[in-house]
Structure 1
Amino acid sequence: MFLYQHHRLYRHKILITSFLLPVILMTCYFAYRQMTPFGKSSLLTVDLGQQYVDFFSYLRNTLLHHPSSFFYSFSKGLGGEMFGTNAYYLLSPLNLILLFFPGQHLATGITIVTLVRYGLAGLSFAWLLQKTKLQQGWRILAFSTVYSMNGWMIANQLNMIWQDALIILPLIIWGLLKLIYQHKAGTYISWLAVMLVDNYYMGWMIAIFTLLFFLWQTPALANWRHRGVTFLRYLGGSLLAAGISAVVLLPTFYALMQSKGTYTETKIQSRFEYFVPKMLGKLVPGSFNFNQMPSGQPNIYIGMLLMLGACLYFFDTRFDLRRRLIGAGISIFFILSFCYEPLDLLWHAGQFPVWYPYRFSYLFSFWCIYLAAKVIQPDFKIKRRSAVILTLLIIAIYWYVGTLNLSYINSNQRNIGLCFALIAVCCLCIPLTNSPRLYDALLVLLAVCDIAMSGYTALNKISYVSQPEFGNYTVALDKAVNKLKKNDDGFYRVAKTFMRTKDDPFQADFNSGDHFGSTLEPPIPAFMGAIGQPDGDGFITYSNGTQVSDALLGYKYTMSTRNNSAGKNLPLSGYRPDWYSYPLVSTTPAVNIRENSHALPIAFGANTAILNLQRSTMDPLNYQSQIFQTLAGRPTFHSLFAVQNFSSVKFNNVQTAKQITGTIFRKQNLLKPASVQLEFIPPTNDSYYLTLGPNVEEDATITMNNKHFTQYNTFRNTVVINAAHDQKGKKVVINLQLKKATLWMQNVSIYQLKQRPFIASLRTLQKSPLKITSYSSNRISGTVTLHQKQRVLMTTIPASKGWHVKVDGKTATTRTVLNTFMAVPMTPGKHYVEFYYRPPLLILGLIITAISLGITSWWVKKQHQQKSLFD
């Protein structure tokens, strides 16, 4: 009994150390780089700093303040479903740790959660090695630490949403082994279901890998009949895991089909994606830099010792030849997947990754480390001839990598990697019998030093957002939003002319028109781009509004910086002098808050002509006018915007032209600066708006009145910029300096907003507002009185099958208008209207989950008494 307890304590010590060792190693690095809480830097970089951190703030607000936004949120652009967003980004249980880190301290919470994930990955793999008895004793730390800090984990440290896969994968594999050899499916089903709920994207990749791993195990089964029965058991377990997670998967699948799924590749080319030998560069420690994020080779570094161990598996006669051949086939399949387009798309569910290529490469790292753990046993020693061949091969590979001139590898990295590789060969030549403990210590030391050096080198090549940059902005934004909420607890949208990220509304918990995320529905950026806002396949930002779009979309409040010093903490993203006519209602040390009395509510009475309006112009201001006039029941040919002529134009080192819009200006002397200067003197105090095509921003540096042009610079459609307001007789100078040899003045025009017809149409629309009596993120109710010519309740809620409407207690049919928004045909008179959102397929998913849980429970009980081949 005493020996058993002693052995159990010994195993627990190893597991605890397998958790602590990677945590200590990464903590030392974070402290060295002064990552918060150790200094003024942070882990925030690229998507973690521009997207995920804001989603984590949204999760805190949802769980602590308004749970209804778990299904739908008006902080997601103009409004959007959140079930699919949560399933992709936020369902990891480890994110609950972030509940203890509000606002500016969220970056500290991210550091702690990242360290916990490193530790749990090491612990999970160590646990698998102990359960399978592949390795015993302290030598386990060599494999568990390398697994937790492999090249994929380091390169994707910023992609926290995927890292749980490394923690859960060993548990799934243990469950699969139990299913194959013990006929017990419960562990496999449970952990695969957990993975699919935690992150379905990584779960899909792991599901493919379990099939490969199952095939590798089949030669150990007695006969073909046994293999067939076991495969059916594996298939049934996999389907039940998917069934248990159906409550998440089905609504998420629907959401993806409306958003990210619309970009799935329909034409697959049989081609290699790059020069395949470049992959050898990833056998060098620290083979990573920023340029590898958007496009690069798979991150597969696991240290030279374990990579050699994995390679030796295929030549080790201690193992069954059939399994070695299948293992070789699996390895070749992985390598082809890293460069052959059809296989790459298979792992990524039919979509090319936008940045972070070969996201499944962590599975190859697991595979190689697992093979190495089988090979590098206490009794293993390579033959002298094999050692010589390995040495020559290593030298040849490192020499060849040097000839490739890869930007992410320098000579020091190659030399250090070569030294580690040669030491690894020597280590494999040492007979264990001389000093087992010393050998194990050498094994651990070599593996840990190798992988730690690689990780540190790779991370040193990445820059990060400073903690003050994140914290000061968050504090300033939170102060402004909280002050606004104290003064008005109603439902409204807020526009602003400063921005840290496009997910600021998630960070500070307010409704706006900005968002960056993979589950953004395509009609939303299409609409925003059509009215002159910056947009892309996965983002929108409301930084180029007009008085018309402010009113239409219900921007009741605006926020702008108070002074130039505030702009250092609040980076500018737009220019709106027309806001100065709105009354100032509140201030904070950094922000001015103004109220827009022209803002329409989320729903209002409108003319039925809006149901049939089709976009007939590519001019964003004309389109805004068409929408507004149609809603008000006025002729669309009476545009609210009038084209104005520039007062004068100055040409510097380019040819002259009578017409500006559409002209291609060319440098006359390529060696000298060239520019086109547009001068405009407003004849009235109305608002004036400048339109610019996307090519203009790419080809010219723009200033307005000799000041830097504060414009969000990523857009693919013509944008609208507020050039002047209340500036009658004051010159406005717009200077476009050529960046290249030519400049196409794409859609460069100036427009005047005709204030009187705008106000007249606005008054018509303000006659029938929805008076909200209660609201939450997924439910809005209120009363509306429609007049005779207003037989449609127009909303600026994006149309979705998840929205349901009741009018006077009866279910109403909705229509999609402008290919974007929901509208409800109604009769004139007073009505009580209720909108509520339920994720499509949620009920069906709940039913399938309940049935799958019942079947799994019955199956596990039935198999509980079966004998184990491991026992």
Structure 2
Amino acid sequence: MLTTIRSHQRSFILGISFLLPILLMGSYFAYRQMAPFGPSSLLTVDLGQQYVDFFAYLRASLLHHPSSFFYSFAKGLGGEMWGTDAYYLLSPLNLLLIFFPGRFLTSGIMLILLLRYGLAGLSFAWLLDKTGWQKGPRIWAFSTAYALNGWMIANQLNMLWLDALVILPLIIWGLLKLFYRRQAGTYIFWLAVMMVDNYYMAWMVCLFTLLLVCWLMPEARTWRARGRFILRYGLSSLAAAGVAAVTLFPTIYALMQSKGTYTEQTIYSRFEYFPFKMLAKLVPGSFNFDQMPSGQPNIYIGMLLMMAAFLYFFNRQVKLSRRLAALGVTFFFICSFCYEPLDLLWHAGQFPVWYPYRFSFLFCCWCIILAAQTLRPAFRPCYWQLAPLLLVTGAIFAYVSQLKLSYLSSSQRWIGLGFAAISLLCLAIPRKDSPRLYDLLLVCLVICDVATSAFTSLNNLAYVSQDEFAQYTTQLDQAAKKLRQGDKGLYRVAKTFTRTKDDPFQGDFNSGDHFGSTLEPAIPNFMGAIGQPAGDGFVTYANGTQVTDALFGFKYTLAKQNLATPTLPLSGYRPDWRQLPTTAKTGNVVIRRNPNSLPFAFGASSEILQLPHTTLDPVSYQSQIMQALAGRPINKSLFQVQNFDSVQFNNVQTSRQITGTLFKKQDFLKPASIRLTFIPPTNDSYYLTLGPSVKDDASISINNKAFAQSSNYRDNVVINLAHQQKGQPVTITFRLKKMNVWLQNVSVYRLKQRSFNASLQTLKQSPLKISHHSSNSITGTVDLKRQQRVLMTTIPAARGWHAIVDGRPAATKTVLGTFMAIPLAPGHHQVKLYYRPPFLILGVFTSLLTISGTWLVLRYQVRRRTRGRTGTDKPSTD
């Protein structure tokens, strides 16, 4: 009976630990009227610009085409997805998104986020209960502080990382069992789960387990016992990695081809900022938008718990050697927050792009563990212990009050000082006189403290409205659905409106846009070379020409019907699309078909195999590619320079040469501009090239109308100016935003339509006739003409792609440093292309072998312990 009562009490404590964070954050989200509670949403920064589209991709993959888990043509021009999934999407909670289609995806995101808050509280409460560090309702103070710590609040938009807070306490419990009981199963299982769930956070957790090992070492009685534990720890960690090999092996390879190429080669021994600046993070609500790109670690856990963690080092009930080890771990953390080599170590050799000190959740966990071991029911600090705490607290607030920081207001400082004063009083009050009232004060104080900090921090952020997301998503999904209903083939889609660079994931169609951490550098390098906005980690097909539309299989285009409609933000200017035949209309989107588009694979001249990249002019490079593919002389350009008919200079110096000239304001107080006008002598397409230096120093308009253009690019871009506008003046105006502007690579080109058509007809002679296709395989036939000895594809080359031609494996070549091509003899061929993530098979076998071997070893150890208990020999105390 007593056991049943205790079991019910324990379940009640754990249940409230789960519900408290959910109720607190759910109330805040309802107060902020976030969907489904109102017209706002949780979408902000990367959650709104990237992750929400990945969630839509996951849902579409689960329901419609599972093969896209391995490869997707919606990732830029095409890219592996296994490593991408391992970073963004392998949390089991994401499966709930199946029930939230389209515009309702934001409600699914809120549900998952609230569950993560609750599970983090539950997980930590379970750890405290199992270890006995805290018991009863007191657990709620520590579990809620853990779930609502400063890192969690600052990074709730980075939902791909949040599972780490749920799994971390379970790994710690497994490590404690490994140390005290020599039982490795729990540690191996949960560490493997962490590695599968998110390898990036798992790296940080693994480093943290090393620090915990250092903290536990003084508990071992002999050096022999310590050596045995280190051996068990090392082997168990390797076993966890082996279990997770099915994701780790392919992912590591994918990282080496993408994100891993940005690893720092030179490490400097220096501090990143004045270390005392991080003391401001000990004030509640010390976070705002400015802290996202660069700032200090978010480590707030409440005044009382931070003080208790400080008192751990003065607690004589803990062995001195253990306290010294804890002090070393704490010092290592603090140095990691400001010393560059240690910062890089935690982030696997790469400086974070936004969201610095991503490992600070581990410090939060560490401090709460120290606090939990200090604030035992019988603990009452002496005055000699409270005196240094009072001095340190006063010094911190005195220092912080002198700092001018955008994320700290005077009210926040006073609130923090108030919580600090109450916390000191709470520590000074003896618990024995009224235990229940004291525990109630403890729980209420900590919960109010961390909740105030959480709400203050989140109030500093702006969010996307639900209507903005829902209306755009609905119109995009309708257009994409209409396309799939009318054409189930393999093709790419271009558009002139954009919400994010991952719209293809959101709408489930193939395109040339992508923003993600696992994008292979070859793709943005190539896209930038042909005049598209691109950078580290992103590409966008916003500045296509007739040449690129044809070569890369952009068979359909999506454009706004009513330019005044704000729900579809413009991102490109393509007058040459206006003459394309309309195939359908949905809402405010008009769908046009490009009759000139080529398939994903077609017969081409072998000259493409040797084409060098010797020009920085994107239109010249486009011409060379197409002419080489068609077997024509590459020096016969498809584009011709078009001179300007007139130039007007307003408040800048005059110049005979436009491109490459640095224009300066003559009167600093007056507006300045350069107006370039040309009259198209033909109905051909005309394109403007523009260097990256122009975008920051001048605004651009065409015929006195501002046009949409991506503002984020690092290479020369190509902009369509005119089509079918013979004899109609076209005026380009550059208005200076600063004191001067360098008109870098500003030139106008005419596409020689007849020459383009001739080359295009040559390439259309031998298309790959696709009989079957999926996200990672293509099957079809091709008839190569006599002059065509290459099957050219616009599929990015990757080790995972394999070719079977006429029933035999065929070698592939990488052309243009980017795409896959197959040298073939003229004639008829059966072709099959398929993609398998490199090292996936090896990973599967490694995982199966490790699971089998680990199970056998653990089972043997259980039997051995069982025999030891029933025999005469006593178990070892090592």
In structure 1, the partner of 2:800 is: 802
Asked whether the equivalents of residues 181 and 869 of structure 1 are also in contact (C-alpha less than 8 Å), the reply is no
- For residues 616 and 276 of structure 1, the distance between their equivalents in structure 2, rounded to whole angstroms, comes to 48
Q: How many aligned positions are there?
A: 868
In structure 1, the partner of 2:259 is: 260
**One-letter amino acid of the structure 1 residue matched with residue 523 of structure 2:** I
- For residues 97 and 155 of structure 1, the distance between their equivalents in structure 2, rounded to whole angstroms, comes to 24
- For residues 6 and 587 of structure 2, the distance between their equivalents in structure 1, rounded to whole angstroms, comes to 63
In structure 2, the partner of 1:656 is: 654
In structure 2, the partner of 1:443 is: 442
Offset of residue 386 of structure 1: 2.9
**One-letter amino acid of the structure 1 residue matched with residue 858 of structure 2:** V
Offset of residue 709 of structure 1: 2.0
**One-letter amino acid of the structure 1 residue matched with residue 740 of structure 2:** T
Offset of residue 581 of structure 1: 1.5
Offset of residue 517 of structure 1: 0.2
In structure 2, the partner of 1:639 is: 637
**One-letter amino acid of the structure 1 residue matched with residue 458 of structure 2:** L
In structure 2, the partner of 1:817 is: 815
The answer to whether residue 851 in structure 2 is matched with residue 853 in structure 1 is yes
Asked whether the equivalents of residues 648 and 678 of structure 1 are also in contact (C-alpha less than 8 Å), the reply is yes
In structure 1, the partner of 2:16 is: 17
Offset of residue 60 of structure 1: 0.4
In structure 1, the partner of 2:746 is: 748
**One-letter amino acid of the structure 1 residue matched with residue 673 of structure 2:** S
Offset of residue 601 of structure 1: 0.4
The answer to whether residue 509 in structure 2 is matched with residue 510 in structure 1 is yes
Asked whether the equivalents of residues 123 and 170 of structure 2 are also in contact (C-alpha less than 8 Å), the reply is yes
The answer to whether residue 395 in structure 2 is matched with residue 408 in structure 1 is no
In structure 2, the partner of 1:30 is: 29
Q: Please give the secondary structure, in 2, of the residue aligned with 1:40.
A: coil
- For residues 750 and 667 of structure 1, the distance between their equivalents in structure 2, rounded to whole angstroms, comes to 24
In structure 1, the partner of 2:689 is: 691
The match for 2:587 among 583, 586, 589 is 589
Asked whether the equivalents of residues 776 and 835 of structure 2 are also in contact (C-alpha less than 8 Å), the reply is yes
- For residues 846 and 489 of structure 1, the distance between their equivalents in structure 2, rounded to whole angstroms, comes to 33
Deviations 1:508-556 (A, max 9, x none): 1000000000000000000000000000110000000000000000000
**One-letter amino acid of the structure 2 residue matched with residue 288 of structure 1:** F
In structure 2, the partner of 1:767 is: 765
Match runs of 1:189-208 below 5 Å: 189-208=188-207
Asked whether the equivalents of residues 560 and 591 of structure 1 are also in contact (C-alpha less than 8 Å), the reply is yes
In structure 2, the partner of 1:319 is: 318
**One-letter amino acid of the structure 2 residue matched with residue 657 of structure 1:** S
Offset of residue 706 of structure 1: 1.6
Asked whether the equivalents of residues 79 and 798 of structure 1 are also in contact (C-alpha less than 8 Å), the reply is yes
Match runs of 1:787-798 below 5 Å: 787-798=785-796
**One-letter amino acid of the structure 1 residue matched with residue 648 of structure 2:** K
Deviations 1:417-474 (A, max 9, x none): 0110111010011111111000000000000000000000000000000100000000
Asked whether the equivalents of residues 397 and 417 of structure 2 are also in contact (C-alpha less than 8 Å), the reply is yes
Match runs of 1:257-656 below 5 Å: 257-566=256-565, 568-656=566-654
Offset of residue 404 of structure 1: 2.0
- For residues 506 and 3 of structure 1, the distance between their equivalents in structure 2, rounded to whole angstroms, comes to 55
The match for 2:670 among 652, 669, 672 is 672
Q: Please give the secondary structure, in 1, of the residue aligned with 2:272.
A: coil
- For residues 61 and 731 of structure 1, the distance between their equivalents in structure 2, rounded to whole angstroms, comes to 47
- For residues 357 and 861 of structure 2, the distance between their equivalents in structure 1, rounded to whole angstroms, comes to 38
- For residues 809 and 491 of structure 2, the distance between their equivalents in structure 1, rounded to whole angstroms, comes to 26
**One-letter amino acid of the structure 1 residue matched with residue 380 of structure 2:** K
In structure 2, the partner of 1:777 is: 775
**One-letter amino acid of the structure 2 residue matched with residue 744 of structure 1:** W
The answer to whether residue 221 in structure 2 is matched with residue 222 in structure 1 is yes
Asked whether the equivalents of residues 311 and 385 of structure 2 are also in contact (C-alpha less than 8 Å), the reply is no
Q: Please give the secondary structure, in 2, of the residue aligned with 1:743.
A: strand
- For residues 146 and 853 of structure 2, the distance between their equivalents in structure 1, rounded to whole angstroms, comes to 35
Q: Please give the secondary structure, in 1, of the residue aligned with 2:512.
A: coil
Asked whether the equivalents of residues 530 and 717 of structure 1 are also in contact (C-alpha less than 8 Å), the reply is yes
Asked whether the equivalents of residues 391 and 422 of structure 1 are also in contact (C-alpha less than 8 Å), the reply is no
Deviations 1:329-384 (A, max 9, x none): 00000000001011011111111111000000000000000000000011111222
- For residues 835 and 693 of structure 2, the distance between their equivalents in structure 1, rounded to whole angstroms, comes to 40
**One-letter amino acid of the structure 1 residue matched with residue 817 of structure 2:** N
- For residues 250 and 262 of structure 1, the distance between their equivalents in structure 2, rounded to whole angstroms, comes to 17
Offset of residue 392 of structure 1: 2.8
Unaligned runs of 5+ in 1: none
Under a length normalisation based on structure 1, what TM-score does the superposition of the two structures give? 0.99
- For residues 96 and 386 of structure 1, the distance between their equivalents in structure 2, rounded to whole angstroms, comes to 50
Asked whether the equivalents of residues 683 and 723 of structure 2 are also in contact (C-alpha less than 8 Å), the reply is yes
- For residues 876 and 567 of structure 2, the distance between their equivalents in structure 1, rounded to whole angstroms, comes to 64
Offset of residue 215 of structure 1: 1.4
Offset of residue 221 of structure 1: 1.4
Q: Please give the secondary structure, in 1, of the residue aligned with 2:693.
A: helix
Identity %: 64
**One-letter amino acid of the structure 1 residue matched with residue 732 of structure 2:** I
In structure 2, the partner of 1:93 is: 92
Asked whether the equivalents of residues 314 and 385 of structure 2 are also in contact (C-alpha less than 8 Å), the reply is no
In structure 1, the partner of 2:47 is: 48
Asked whether the equivalents of residues 704 and 733 of structure 1 are also in contact (C-alpha less than 8 Å), the reply is yes
Asked whether the equivalents of residues 274 and 339 of structure 1 are also in contact (C-alpha less than 8 Å), the reply is yes
Match runs of 1:164-243 below 5 Å: 164-243=163-242
Asked whether the equivalents of residues 83 and 251 of structure 2 are also in contact (C-alpha less than 8 Å), the reply is yes
Asked whether the equivalents of residues 603 and 788 of structure 2 are also in contact (C-alpha less than 8 Å), the reply is yes
Asked whether the equivalents of residues 692 and 718 of structure 1 are also in contact (C-alpha less than 8 Å), the reply is yes
Q: Please give the secondary structure, in 1, of the residue aligned with 2:432.
A: helix
Offset of residue 391 of structure 1: 2.1
In structure 2, the partner of 1:69 is: 68
- For residues 434 and 447 of structure 2, the distance between their equivalents in structure 1, rounded to whole angstroms, comes to 20
Unaligned runs of 5+ in 2: 870-874
Offset of residue 385 of structure 1: 3.5
Q: Please give the secondary structure, in 1, of the residue aligned with 2:572.
A: coil
Under a length normalisation based on structure 2, what TM-score does the superposition of the two structures give? 0.98
Q: Please give the secondary structure, in 2, of the residue aligned with 1:694.
A: coil
**One-letter amino acid of the structure 2 residue matched with residue 784 of structure 1:** V
Deviations 1:559-601 (A, max 9, x none): 10001243x1110000000011211111112101111010000
- For residues 371 and 233 of structure 1, the distance between their equivalents in structure 2, rounded to whole angstroms, comes to 25
Q: Please give the secondary structure, in 2, of the residue aligned with 1:434.
A: coil
Query: Relative to 1, partners in 2 of residues 1:419 and 1:228: Cα closer, same or farther, differing over 3 Å?
Result: same
Asked whether the equivalents of residues 605 and 789 of structure 2 are also in contact (C-alpha less than 8 Å), the reply is yes
**One-letter amino acid of the structure 1 residue matched with residue 742 of structure 2:** W
**One-letter amino acid of the structure 2 residue matched with residue 278 of structure 1:** K
Offset of residue 863 of structure 1: 2.2
Offset of residue 869 of structure 1: 10
- For residues 210 and 629 of structure 2, the distance between their equivalents in structure 1, rounded to whole angstroms, comes to 56
Deviations 1:692-714 (A, max 9, x none): 11111110011111211210110
- For residues 381 and 645 of structure 2, the distance between their equivalents in structure 1, rounded to whole angstroms, comes to 84
In structure 1, the partner of 2:705 is: 707
- For residues 100 and 278 of structure 1, the distance between their equivalents in structure 2, rounded to whole angstroms, comes to 45
Asked whether the equivalents of residues 182 and 869 of structure 1 are also in contact (C-alpha less than 8 Å), the reply is no
**One-letter amino acid of the structure 2 residue matched with residue 837 of structure 1:** Y
- For residues 589 and 861 of structure 1, the distance between their equivalents in structure 2, rounded to whole angstroms, comes to 63
Deviations 1:165-218 (A, max 9, x none): 000000000000001111100000000000000000000100011111011111
In structure 2, the partner of 1:134 is: 133
Offset of residue 388 of structure 1: 3.4
- For residues 502 and 869 of structure 1, the distance between their equivalents in structure 2, rounded to whole angstroms, comes to 60
- For residues 328 and 488 of structure 2, the distance between their equivalents in structure 1, rounded to whole angstroms, comes to 62
Asked whether the equivalents of residues 239 and 854 of structure 2 are also in contact (C-alpha less than 8 Å), the reply is yes
